[in-house]
Amino acid sequence: MTTKQRIKLIVILAVEFIAIAVLLLLIFFAGKQSYTVKFDLNGGTLISGDLEQSVRQGGRATPPTAAKEGHYFLKWSESYDKVTRDMVIKAVWEYETSPGIEYNIIPNSNYCTVSGCFKGMQGDVYIGAYNGNLRVLGIEDNAFKDCTGITRIHLLDGIVKIGNNAFSGCTSLESIELPDTLAILGTNAFKNCTSLTEVTIPESLTTLPDYAFVDCAALTTCNLPSTLTNIGKYAFKNCTAMTSIVFPESLTGIMDNAFINCSALTALDLPSSLTTIGTGAFKQCTTLTMVEIPGSVLTLGDSAFRQCTALEKVILHEGLTSIGSYAFYECTNLAELTVPSTVPFESVGVNAFEKTQLVFDVEYPTEEEIDIPIVRPPWGPIKGEDFIIDSDDLIDLNGV
């Protein structure tokens, strides 16, 4: 072997030795690397153990012991075996479900629904996410109807549906925690819950159903989600304690009689996304003083603001195409309103502005033009050159 070959061999061996040494060092130090594991008790109280631990890579953390009143520990949110990164592990608690609740098992599944309860239930009611090993998916129609002794309902995430009349007639119900997983809320779900004062609708809901909170006379606050697109018919009928409500920018429709007789509602901030205000939507909201209808609204339904007796000013924007019959009927203090040019004369309904303080200028035909047929819907009081006439006294001038 030549000297040159020897040198080449020595260099190759040296490089291989260095590479192996570096690899061994990396493996050694990797084995020594530690990670921080934090245990979040999620409202629980620490009994023993450490909430923050340093664990070597591949090692195992030691979970603490904790308790939470009214709950039992279900599980930790993540595995603490074979730690390979910094972690925050959260305690998952389950309600100690109130006795007297009945369930239906969904065939061929690991799920169930709440079907009913003992009608004499009193005070706070807890409905856990599990019934044994079965996940609770929903609350069926009429499940808690007329349970007049219940004061509070506590629900855990996992429930996706609350059925029709589920809590209707729970006259002592003061509060309920609606889960973030709720996707369907049934008709009349909280009808006549006369002690309910505040409720928050989760972001998972896009539609508030018909009659959802009808006759909830103590309801002062309903927090609507940013995802809501539609408020159903009679949803807040006779919610006479509600003074204001914040509408999300996602809202497109307020359906028929949605806020009828919300007699304490003092202000409305209607979003620019709104396109439809249904028949009687704000009828008998007797403390409203001013309303601005955004230009996105195309249709103002019949009797939309009928008998809003404190209403003094209405702002209508270009873009509106029709105003329903009796839309502002008996708004006895209404003195300021201009019908936009986008509303055709014939698209203003009968008596839309009757019994208000509004007076409309109308050009009557001259003697030479008297044979021209005229269609004049009786909006409200009208003014000629030297007179004012009520719509009740108008005559049909067609063919005169």
pLDDT of residue 375: 42
Are 262 and 283 contacting, i.e. CB atoms less than 8 angstroms apart?
no
CA distance 189 to 143: 10
pLDDT of residue 377: 46
Residue 155, SS3?
A: strand
The CATH H-level (homologous superfamily) assignment of domain 244-358 is: Ribonuclease Inhibitor (3.80.10.10)
pLDDT of residue 71: 77
Residue range(s) occupied by CATH 2.60.40 in the chain: 31-94
Reading the block at residue 201, the tokens are 């609708």
Residues 6+ away with beta carbon under 8 Å from 118: 99, 100, 101
Quick one: DSSP state of residue 170? -
Per-residue pLDDT of the chain (400 residues; tens, 9 = 90+): 676 666 665 656 666 667 676 666 555 555 558 899 999 999 899 999 999 999 988 899 999 999 887 777 888 999 999 898 999 999 988 777 888 999 999 999 999 999 999 989 999 999 988 888 899 999 999 999 999 999 999 988 889 999 999 999 999 999 998 999 999 999 999 999 999 999 999 999 999 999 999 999 999 999 999 999 999 999 999 999 999 999 999 999 999 999 999 999 998 999 999 999 999 999 999 999 999 999 999 989 999 999 999 999 999 999 999 999 999 999 999 998 888 889 887 888 989 999 999 876 555 445 454 444 444 445 666 555 444 445 554 444 333 3
pLDDT of residue 11: 58
| HSE of 390, CA atoms in CB hemisphere, 13 A | 6
pLDDT of residue 75: 86
Class of domain 31-94: mainly beta
Cross-strand partners of 36: 54
CA distance 299 to 322: 5
CA 305 to chain centre: 24
Residue 392, SS3?
A: helix
Reading the block at residue 162, the tokens are 């609350």
CA-CA distances (angstroms) from residue 79 to 58, 64, 83, 213, 301? 12, 14, 8, 43, 57
For the residues of 179-198, what is the DSSP string, one character each?
-TT--EE-TTTTTT-TT--E
pLDDT of residue 32: 54
Reading the block at residue 324, the tokens are 């329903």
pLDDT of residue 69: 77
Reading the block at residue 294, the tokens are 């955004």
pLDDT of residue 213: 98
Reading the block at residue 397, the tokens are 């001038």
Residues 6+ away with beta carbon under 8 Å from 255: 210, 230, 231, 232, 233, 235, 276, 278, 281
pLDDT of residue 382: 56
Of 302, 313, 357, 307, the C-alpha closest to 329 is 307
CA distance 196 to 174: 4
Residue range(s) occupied by CATH 3.80.10.10 in the chain: 244-358
Cross-strand partners of 198: 221
pLDDT of residue 358: 84
For the residues of 25-46, what is the DSSP string, one character each?
HHHHHHHH-EEEEEEE-TT-EE
Are 373 and 351 contacting, i.e. CB atoms less than 8 angstroms apart?
no
pLDDT of residue 128: 85
pLDDT of residue 395: 43
Phi, psi of 53 (to 5 degrees): -135, 150
Are 221 and 248 contacting, i.e. CB atoms less than 8 angstroms apart?
no
Of 147, 134, 211, the C-alpha closest to 176 is 147
pLDDT of residue 399: 36
Count of all residues that appear for the chain in the document = 400
pLDDT of residue 233: 98
